[in-house]
Amino acid sequence: MPQMESNALVLYSQNYKEQDKLVKIFTKKHGKRMFFLKNPSKSRLNFGIQPLTSANMIFQINDTGFSFINDISEVRIFKNINEDIFLNAHASYLVALADASISDNIKDIPLFEFLTKSLELIDSGFDREVVTNIFELQIMGHFGSSIDFSQCVFCHRTDLPMDYSFKYNGCLCVNHFNEDERRSHLDPNVIYFANLFMHVDLNKIQNISLKDDLKKKIRLFIDELYEEYVGIHLKPKKFLDQMDSWSNLMTDLGQTRKIEENGKES
């Protein structure tokens, strides 16, 4: 087989036998592929096959069995993601979502670029929760779900407060709330930002600052959407949820200590 070259993103790796590894790599030109590496700890390629690493790769792709990496250059490590457990949790979840959204060996340049840009934004300090929400909503189309948050399913108005109806698989404006007594009863800002996130271009995005309370509401709504329309339960998502609980606990403990310290001072 001839050698091929492509930008690539390492999704994950796993041990194979005693010293070898299987590395799942999302290549820009040839989709997701599983590569075999013989004793990588002693290979000059080892630096470029770590999870969440971007690089230019020269490889041999086989239609059956494993493929093989011949050379790696222009290696880029997402330094902050690899050093921060919270950033890493969000990045790992996005990688798992992308992996689940398409079959192996299927070329998908827009998804490759979307995932890469999302990781770049998280690594650069952009709000990790906002990037995660944007990725989740925009990738839902890969799972066969397309939701319009911009207008009421009955009158198609776009200028009124909206709520979401799972009964009608779309939004209801305030004039049609009575059509579904079991509508979601969301904060209208949740629908506003869901619509914004669904259409925003990550290459043109400006800084978005949201209050923690609104972030939690958006998080719960997207979780409901995924449970209803997608139905996948990824281990990185479960871990991310646990991490968020730890973060909240740490924040509460910090606030309690401040109150106690202020009480002692007074």
Give the per-residue pLDDT at 146.
87
**For 121-159, what is each residue's pLDDT tens digit?**
999 999 999 999 999 999 999 999 989 999 999 999 999
Percentage of residues in the chain having pLDDT higher than 70 = 91
> Whose CA is closest to 32, among 46, 41, 22, 44?
22
Average pLDDT, integer, range 47-57: 92
201 pLDDT tier (thresholds 50, 70, 90) = very high
Q: What is the pLDDT of residue 118?
A: 98
Burial of 12 (0-12, 13-18, 19+ CB in 10 A): middle
Q: Higher model confidence: residue 150 or residue 65?
A: 150
253 has pLDDT over 50 = no
Q: What is the mean pLDDT of residues 101-109?
A: 95
Q: What is the per-residue pLDDT for 64?
A: 76
What gap in Å lies between CA 153 and CA 150, rounded to an integer? Answer: 9
DSSP reduced 3-state for 103: coil
- Is this prediction's pTM over 0.85? yes
For 61, the token pair is: 């792709």
Q: What whole-number distance in Å separates Cα of residue 10 and Cα of residue 240? A: 20
Q: Please report which confidence band the pLDDT of residue 175 belongs to, taking 50, 70 and 90 as the band edges.
A: very high
Q: What is the predicted pLDDT for the residue at 262? A: 58
Whole-angstrom distance, CA of residue 116 vs CA of residue 121: 9
Q: What is the mean pLDDT of the chain?
A: 90
- Joined together, the tokens standing for residue 172 give 């209801």
Annotate 156-221 with DSSP letters as a single string: ---SS-EEEETTTTEEEEGGGGGG-TT-----HHHHHHHHHHHH--TTTPPP----HHHHHHHHHH
Helix axes 85-101, 128-139, angle to 10 degrees: 10
What is the per-residue pLDDT for 84? 94
264 pLDDT above the threshold of 60 = no
> Averaged over 81-94, what is the pLDDT?
95
**What does the buried/exposed string (b/e) look like for 215-237 if buried means 16 or more CB atoms within 10 Å of the residue's CB?**
bebbbebbeebbeeebeeebebb
